[in-house]
Amino acid sequence: MAQPITREFLTDVLALVPAPDPVVEFGSLQVEAEQDIDLRRFFPGRPFTGTDFREGPGVDRVEDLRGLTFADGEIGTAICLDTLEHCADPVTAVREMHRALRPDGGLCLISSVMLFGIHGYPNDYFRFTPEGFRQLLEPFDDAWVIGIGDQGIPREVFGVGIRGGSLDALGLGAMPHLAERQRWWDDATGMVRLGPLRYPPRLLAKELGWEARRLVRERLRRGRRAG
């Protein structure tokens, strides 16, 4: 949840779709103190419970997504941002959130990185395509999914599911923060495009310089062995 784009996704969705109480975040552990990851400020004065599979900062209640202790229909809004890739059984996790959500408009928001390196917290198991997210959200009455970045391999994938309601209000054109992210990716103003990646020119030049020196050293070694 350290990435600004996930907070922007949350902001866009909350402006378009009612998010009923109580609100429960899954994966609320603030792993790194300097990261801006506390979601409580998005729900001021509202019942909010932060859960994770281990105790720590930001965790009000220890929960295992594969077997939640919440009763059927007990949760109003379930938030699970950049967490499912760290869950060993994401299919069961989403079905458990669906079970625990209210049937009269219960809302589930999920996100996960796709074009991103392996990272712990403490384990990293999966990457999801947009179609993968649609399959995860299949139990819901309506679902909305989008990938931001290169459409062949998005940087981040977002999904929303609802019980007993509609998500017709959701769409990139109605979500200014996500739309701006996609425009930045498409335009690549001041950046160098390399397939699905966007590089600042100075950083790319630095990395190419390292590679050029490595190739020169490799060629010199081959020349000495040949001689």
Q: Specify the CATH number for the domain of residue 49.
A: 3.40.50.150
Note whether 88 and 198 are same-domain residues: no
187-195 long-range contacts, CB within 8 A, separation 24+ = 195/150
Q: Which residues contact 35 (CB under 8 A, 6 or more apart)?
A: 1, 2
112-130 pLDDT, tens digit each: 999 999 988 789 999 999 9
User: What pLDDT score does 33 carry?
Assistant: 64
Q: What is the pLDDT of residues 33-65, one digit of tens each?
A: 666 678 999 999 999 999 999 999 999 999 999
Q: 210 lies in which domain range?
A: 192-226
Q: Averaged in consecutive runs of 10 residues, what is the pLDDT profile of the chain (227 residues)? A: 84 98 95 76 96 94 97 98 96 98 98 91 92 98 97 96 98 98 96 93 94 92 82
Helix (H, G, I), strand (E, B) or coil at 59: coil
Contact indicator for 54, 80 with CB cutoff of 8 Å: no
Q: Which two tokens stand for residue 207?
A: 């990395």
Do residue 105 and residue 201 come from a single domain?
A: no
